[in-house]
């Protein structure tokens, strides 16, 4: 069975600084996808970034980038130039590729607070 672990229940960062959220996962499969979702207090789950396991290049979306280490089964999220609007719960998620069902496996989340 696949598992996703986020070891940091809470983190804080000063506005304009950089913060890295950690995520590790466990799977015996080689083809899968990894995601970071953001859930602000409004509770809307927003897809932040996506990484295909077969791609060595780390995904980047504006201020958000990942450090994907497949051998170590690690998938961290770096947020640069943090903004107050980045305050949210961040969930790391995993899904096997090629399946017909949609079972995203989520970590327990990291609560990020951006302080002015």
At residue 5, what are phi and psi to the nearest 5 degrees? -125, 125
**CA–CA separation, 108 and 83 (whole Å):** 23
Binding mask 5-34 for other proteins (x = CB under 8 A): ----------------------------x-
Per CB under 8 A, 42 contacts other proteins: yes
Show the tokens assigned to 84.
């107050």
Number of other CB atoms surrounding residue 76 within 10 Å: 17
Please report where in the chains the tokens 């780390």 appear, as a residue.
Answer: 58
CB of 40 to other proteins, least distance (A): 11
Single residue of 50, 63, 70, 78 touching other proteins by CB under 8 A? 50
* Residues 30/40, Cβ–Cβ less than 8 Å: no
Which parts of 64-103 interact with other proteins (CB under 8 A)?
91, 95, 97, 99-103
**CA–CA separation, 98 and 112 (whole Å):** 32
CB of 16 to other proteins, least distance (A): 28
Q: Which residues bind other proteins (CB under 8 A)?
A: 33, 35, 37, 42-47, 50, 91, 95, 97, 99-104, 106-109
């Amino acid at each position: 069975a696949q598992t996703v672990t986020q070891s940091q229940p809470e983190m804080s960062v000063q506005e304009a600084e950089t913060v890295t959220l950690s995520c590790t996962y466990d799977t015996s499969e080689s083809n899968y996808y990894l995601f970071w979702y953001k859930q602000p207090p409004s509770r809307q789950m927003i897809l932040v970034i996506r990484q295909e396991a077969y791609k060595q290049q780390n995904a980047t979306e504006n201020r958000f980038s990942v450090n994907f280490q497949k051998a170590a089964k690690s998938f961290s999220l770096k947020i640069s130039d943090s903004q107050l609007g980045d305050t949210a719960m961040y969930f790391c998620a995993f899904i096997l590729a090629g399946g017909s069902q949609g079972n995203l496996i989520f970590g327990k989340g990291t609560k990020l607070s951006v302080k002015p």
